[in-house]
Structure 1
């Protein structure tokens, strides 16, 4: 069964920007769009019973969907108005990806990630894309790169690389793959790692080779996608944020694991989400 691109809406400007982004992405990928609105009955509104409140919510969703359908007449759109928690309704959705809005307060603060967004990103089994209010398709039309962070070995970033290459192929864009590295503590060296570094000619050539090895299978799978490989010394968050200034979409990975305090996003993804000016896709991996 074809999984849709699912957009969570709540009537805010950021969620409407997310809906627009999700619609454009669905058209590019030839997928249906599913629009989800989760709501709770407000007992404080004594003059409005449950059916009346549901009608208000459904009408708002219908108005938003009508606007999208007018801009994309060939797009298949379904709506789902769910009573209950938004995070649960979205995190468990059977979707190709989830698209949410996130408030932005300028280039310094970037995303203000609310509790719903944090829970969905941490628990969703599918990629989650965060879109700021005021997002425009101009960056996509300008031909900016899809930027993706790579770390560890080829398997560690395979899910993020796949998502980035698929997004770039759908847009006719290039992929810029970024790998950040730092000098490890002296005591972290082992005889085996020292031998590998010697064979590679040093730390930076070793990192460049590691990046090339991770990207190679995706170059072969998507030969039509231009690729730039970028290795830079520094913290992963800072290096990725610098690259995000020239991106139409930033892709980062998130380890799909739970801790004693629940699921977590990860420090790199968390930093990028709070400061990137472009939409950010968080892709879970094992």
Structure 2
């Protein structure tokens, strides 16, 4: 990795909030910050052609003005700018972040009930890159992000015990450790269909399964707690739909971490339903971490 955070800018309030969050995160990490504006020529007409000069100037000014603003707030931050043209924005952003530690993008809020719009560029970029992607929220026109990088809330990790969890645990533990905040690990589960009527026949079955899952989770977390001895870890195995349990735990979180399994299918990669739900409804910044 290059000890660099890349953030995508599009001129929106959400993009500005993403830049603010990324700058705070870069300060926490002691990392450089790269501002990227990816211009997709195809959206301006049916043919690939150079952008009109006013549009090109606007893109250059967006990068320059954002850099100047962030430097006024973080004078020692190493900030570079980069503009791309002529390819799909999602591919350009993924290419820019290929050796970055983090790619940060904005998402626009619709309100507490409706959730958030994860734009087409963000949705298309996430499956294109194996770099962790953070979606930063902006609600009601506010330019400051919901959940600054130095917020005091916990880091919440949604975990599937049946997946390879190492990359998610490494990311979440590092984020919680550098913030000196607790790590809440949530595994939502349901009784298998074959046990649908078992609790009414034998109430101990549900508790036995819950205790087994809790023991598995504690065993999984044990080496990470040894690696990060100062980290306070709250391990939860909760009966119910995983996305709902993660969202319940994520209220007031500094960061929510979920996984995306790396797939290379013929019809293209996709984002799983639990991660998709958290992306659209968590109010805190959401980190999507690709894993095997």
Task: Tell me if both proteins adopt one fold, taking TM over 0.5 as the criterion.
Answer: yes
TM-score by length of 1: 0.88
Asked if 1:148 is matched to 2:150, the reply is: no
Asked if 1:261 is matched to 2:263, the reply is: no
Deviation at 1:43, TM superposition (A): 7.0
Asked if 1:106 is matched to 2:111, the reply is: yes
Q: Deviations for 1:141-196, whole angstroms, at most 9, x for unmatched residues?
A: 5521000011124x6221111111111111111100111111012289xxxxxxxx
Asked if 1:28 is matched to 2:36, the reply is: no
Q: Which residue of 1 aligns with 2:282?
A: 276
171-180 or 34-43, larger mean C-alpha shift: 34-43
Q: Which residue of 2 aligns with 1:192?
A: none
**1: CA distance, partners of 2:133 / 2:51:** 34
Q: Which residue of 2 aligns with 1:87?
A: 90
Q: Which residue of 2 aligns with 1:58?
A: 60
Q: Which residue of 2 aligns with 1:244?
A: 250
> Could you tell me whether the CA contact under 8 Å between 1:150 and 1:211 is conserved in 2?
no
User: Gaps (5+ residues) in structure 2?
Assistant: 197-203
**How many correspondences in the alignment?**
273
Q: Deviations for 1:120-159, whole angstroms, at most 9, x for unmatched residues?
A: 1112111000011135476665521000011124x62211
Asked if 1:230 is matched to 2:249, the reply is: no
> Could you tell me whether the CA contact under 8 Å between 2:161 and 2:187 is conserved in 1?
no
Deviation at 1:63, TM superposition (A): 0.4
Q: Which residue of 2 aligns with 1:169?
A: 177
When residues 23 and 78 of structure 1 are mapped into structure 2, their CA distance, relative to the original with a 3 A threshold, is same
Deviation at 1:258, TM superposition (A): 2.8
Deviation at 1:115, TM superposition (A): 1.5
**2: CA distance, partners of 1:136 / 1:113:** 15
Q: Deviations for 1:57-81, whole angstroms, at most 9, x for unmatched residues?
A: 1012100111011101111011001
User: Gaps (5+ residues) in structure 1?
Assistant: 189-196
Asked if 1:220 is matched to 2:226, the reply is: yes
When residues 9 and 139 of structure 1 are mapped into structure 2, their CA distance, relative to the original with a 3 A threshold, is closer
